[in-house]
Chains A and B, each alone.
Chain A
Amino acid sequence: MLSDNALKRIDRELTKYPADQKQSAVMAALAIAQDEKGYLAQETIAAVADYLGMAPMAAYEIASFYNMYDLAPVGRFKLTVCTNLPCALSGGVHAADHLKQTLGIDFNETTPDGLFTLKEGECLGACGDAPVLLMNNKRMCSHMSTEAIDQLLAELRAEALAKPAGPKS
């Protein structure tokens, strides 16, 4: 189910917690699984639960509670743009509108080519750099003016062309 590499990474997380507290690694394990599979399918969650010796429902509670897990497939590039008040005061909503227009999709939608999914973010903890967006849960993009957004989209499209069905960054 999960690759050896993923299991190795999960094992490393497990070393952080007491031996009888394997469940502590569930958040990291689900994140690792999601990185590998693109999203958390039911079997993936069950496999993680099994690996950590916890009830699948307990793992599902986690996967559905924390925002950054995706329970359904998303595009190759998931863009989470913050529209919370501090960001909104400095263009967060404008940035979101620009993304919607350029990509032709609304929040929680994926472009037909499967490249982009747009999500509305709550505070990313980077309000001073508004507008901000987070790419695939990992890469924080600050000061995203319309030009910067266009540039980012172009870069990601180019990356997709260069490495067609490659794994998520």
Chain B
Amino acid sequence: MSAQTILTAGIEPATADATWHLDDYVGRGGYAALKKVLAEKMTPEAVINEVKKSSLRGRGGAGFPSGLKWSFMPKAYAGTKYLCCNSDEGEPGTFKDRDLLRYNPHQVIEGMAIAAYAMGTAVGYNYIHGEVWDLYARFERALDEARAAGLIGQNILGSGFNFELYAHHGYGAYICGEETALLESIEGKKGQPRYKPPFPASYGLYGKPTTINNTETFAAVPWIIMNGGEKYLELGKPNNGGTKLFSVSGHVVRPGVYEVPMGLPFPELLKMCGGMRGGRKLKACIPGGSSAPVLPAEIMMECTMDYDAIAKAGSMLGSGAVIVMDESVCMVRALERLSYFYFEESCGQCTPCREGTGWLYRVVHRIEHGLGRAEDLDLLNGVTDNIMGRTICALGDAASLPVRSFIKHFRSEFEYHIDNKKCLVPPEVQREGSKIHVRPSQC
């Protein structure tokens, strides 16, 4: 692991599952930042300023500067304002927030408490992905510990500052990761995104001003407060402050979560994961979760892992989910599976996404199954033209970008499929390449 870690610091893999408790966290220096903010009576502006200086960018996918976002919250608002943590990690390839909640839930709680202080939000919710019940249960226990220690609740540490924090458990809908769908879901409705404007900072949960950040974003806050925004920025590179968790999945020897400084060259990250599995060659990589455009090996190997570099290469750092694919992968089949995912997860609210994701999936499915037509690739691009930028939320774009990028970079493979009614990569090779990657089971 690289030099400085701040999200996973002090956590030993072997014992990680047992050292999540309040005592352990405090032992690692936890809650010092919250205490500092309260003891020094830092002004909310000062806290926000520190976050601004850190250049911390939202870790949920969009990479929006967090300090700026916090400053949008109306200061003089008389009623309740809300703070939400987005732990609905459901983007295929992303599993970093899971580790944060598993091994270090108090760091998220502390980050949220500081954010609440900075924005004057009296109530917060952590929206936790449905499929990780154990993390939800654990987070509730962590909340109990924090509450008992007076670290959340009323009059925190005698400072007069109040912040109630609760966990809300999702129940299986990728779309609830979209921040306004998440708010709807907390309100007990279907997770159907809201049209913006109005933005959550003016009309959020229950119609009240609300800020939503990703789990990892909050988890970075205590360190920034303790060490200063500049220090954090220095960990990474300009405009891309700090370290970042990367969820690496697919054809590497050791898939997993890696905390590295922003701007690390991709080959180094690959090396940390033990390199390519079975010694096969890298074919393609999706650097930022399933909705980020795929990049072919030669482009990917030149990238550093930060927002700007990946964007320049034509993709997105997104949530930092790195899906590594070797030469045994059939790109049509890979796209078919992703397209099915977006078709399945569209909330069904707006027309282009509801109708378009099914259309995309069916055409890719047809090509994969030997029923492709010459005009299909243009049709697919045409359909994405009609989805992108015309939907209520970004799921429409998320469904379109893979289609466009797979066709763009691997057009010949799609054409081969259409012409020859079969995969370019022989099925046995595909099967061999994606067979169960044997490691000890944990159940």
Contact = CB atoms under 8 A, between A and B. Distances in A.
**Within 8 Å by CB, do A and B touch in the complex?**
yes
Interface string A37-57: 000000000000000101000
Contact of A24 (B130, B186, B250, B434): B186
Contacts of A21: 187-188, 206
Contacts of B167: 16
A6 interface: no
Nearest to B338: A85
Interface in A7-57: 16-18, 21-28, 30-31, 52, 54
B89 interface: yes
A103 interface: no
A3 B436 CA distance: 43
B441 A66 contact: no
A67 B171 contact: yes
B15 interface: no
A141 B441 CA distance: 8
Contact of B337 (A80, A85, A147): A85
A127 B249 contact: yes
Interface string B318-332: 000101110001000
B93 interface: yes
B133 A89 contact: no
Interface of B: 80, 89-95, 97-98, 125, 129-134, 166-174, 185-191, 206, 247-251, 255-257, 290, 321, 323-325, 329, 334, 337-338, 341, 344-345, 347, 431, 433-443
A66 B185 CA distance: 10
Contact of B95 (A121, A125, A137, A143): A125
Interface of A: 16-18, 21-28, 30-31, 52, 54, 58, 61-62, 65-69, 80, 83-91, 93-95, 121-131, 134, 137-148, 151-152
Given A127-B255, A142-B443, A89 B250 contact: yes
Contact of B131 (A95, A129, A140, A148): A140
A140 B95 CA distance: 13
B335 to A, nearest CB: 9
A144 B437 contact: no
A67 B191 CA distance: 12
Nearest to B134: A140
Given A23-B187, A124-B131, 11 more contacts: A22-B188, A27-B168, A65-B173, A68-B131, A125-B89, A126-B98, A129-B442, A138-B133, A139-B443, A142-B443, A143-B438
Contacts of A88: 337, 434
Q: Which 3 A-B pairs have the closest CB atoms?
A: A91-B436, A67-B172, A23-B188
25 contacts: A16-B168, A27-B188, A30-B171, A66-B171, A67-B171, A68-B172, A69-B171, A85-B334, A85-B338, A86-B92, A87-B249, A89-B324, A91-B437, A123-B94, A125-B89, A125-B131, A127-B249, A128-B247, A137-B133, A140-B134, A142-B442, A143-B438, A143-B442, A145-B439, A147-B441
Contacts of A27: 168-171, 185, 188
Contacts of B334: 85
Nearest to B169: A28
Given A85-B92, A123-B91, A148-B443, A94 B436 contact: yes
Contacts of B92: 84-86, 122-123, 127
Contacts of B250: 86, 89-90
Q: Which of A25, A89, A93, A139 has the most C-beta atoms of chain B within 10 angstroms of its own C-beta?
A: A89
A136 to B, nearest CB: 9
A124 B134 CA distance: 13
A66 B173 contact: yes
B438 A145 contact: yes
Nearest to B129: A125
Nearest to B125: A16
B437 A128 contact: no
B244 to A, nearest CB: 16
Nearest to B123: A18
Q: Which of A52, A62, A94, A123 has the most C-beta atoms of chain B within 10 angstroms of its own C-beta?
A: A123
A24 B437 CA distance: 41
A62 B440 CA distance: 37
Given A86-B92, A145-B436, A66 B130 contact: yes
Q: Which of A69, A83, A122 has the most C-beta atoms of chain B within 10 angstroms of its own C-beta?
A: A122
B341 A62 contact: no
B114 to A, nearest CB: 21
A93 B344 contact: no
